[in-house]
Amino acid sequence: MIVQDKCVLITGSNRGIGLAFAKQAHRLGARVIMAMRNTDGFTQDWFDERVQLIELDMGSSESIERFMQNSVLAEVDILINNAGQLTGGILEDQKVTDIYSMFQVNLVGLIHLTKLMLPLLEQRPKAMIVNNSSVSGIMHLPCTTTYTAAKTGVVAFSSSLRQDLKGTNVKVLTLITPGVKTRMFDEIAPKYSKHMDVSSLSTISPEDYSVRVFKAIEKNQSVLLPTGAERVGVFVAQHFPQLFEKLASARFKR
């Protein structure tokens, strides 16, 4: 899928990985629809007539339904479901309201928006849905019960949907996103480190990651796996789950 001249919609695009995706799509010559909770005063020095901002709260089904009334959405070729929230720590310490909100944004809202966008994407000559999961969608580490459950849901939803869409013009790309240096990554230590050694986690920049993701889009890949040590971790978790659990729990202290 050539990104130039396509229309790319990105949720949660006001900061972090989503903002880097928007910039990279724009750099490659796409039209960019940046969906975010609050568009008031939001601007970037690279903005031009190819960029449009629309308000969307992925935590609210009403907001998703309202968002869908924008006629420009009929022109979208690539939907990037990126918005996300992080929960973590042992389950007893996680706030129930945070868990509901995270599931709504990371999984239920993602499914809702995808369902409503699908009939529009099916009208395009070629289309793609890109779902931002995580290494947590495969590597089920301690302290991540709820986040890992939602991100595993994103992996499963994407694999199943890919099969539903076989023979159509719509492809599905699952991102098994590694550590990326954003505000969310900075939330890991305060949330997890009471019980888990997170000192060895590594990151790449959102800009470098967005280059990788758009290469995967252009190559029509189905899954984008991490590289390096995280690739090894994903492999062990997939093929040797008991060994993975043993190694992971060695870094955990109740």
Ligand X SMILES: NC(=O)c1ccc[n+]([C@@H]2O[C@H](COP(=O)([O-])OP(=O)(O)OC[C@H]3O[C@@H](n4cnc5c(N)ncnc54)[C@H](OP(=O)(O)O)[C@@H]3O)[C@@H](O)[C@H]2O)c1
Which among 100, 147, 192, 209 is annotated as catalytic? 147
Minimal distance in Å, beta carbon 239 to ligand X?
A: 21
Active site residue 100: no
The rounded distance, in Å, linking the Cα atoms of 155 and 146 is 14
The first and second tokens of residue 162, run together, are 């890919």
Minimal distance in Å, beta carbon 166 to ligand X?
A: 26
Residue 121 or 174: which CB sits closer to ligand X?
A: 174
CA 63 → CA 67, 149, 222, distances in Å?
6, 24, 29
The rounded distance, in Å, linking the Cα atoms of 230 and 110 is 25
The rounded distance, in Å, linking the Cα atoms of 32 and 7 is 6
CB 179 within 8 A of CB 204: yes
CB 102 within 8 A of CB 146: yes
The C-alpha R_g of the chain, in whole angstroms, comes to 18
Residue 12 or 88: which CB sits closer to ligand X?
A: 12
Binding site for ligand X (CB under 6 A): 11-12, 14-18, 37, 56-59, 82-85, 105, 132, 134, 177, 179-180, 182-185
Residue 57 or 77: which CB sits closer to ligand X?
A: 57
The rounded distance, in Å, linking the Cα atoms of 212 and 187 is 24
Minimal distance in Å, beta carbon 214 to ligand X?
A: 15
Residue 40 or 49: which CB sits closer to ligand X?
A: 40
Minimal distance in Å, beta carbon 55 to ligand X?
A: 9
- Catalytic residues, by residue number, are 147
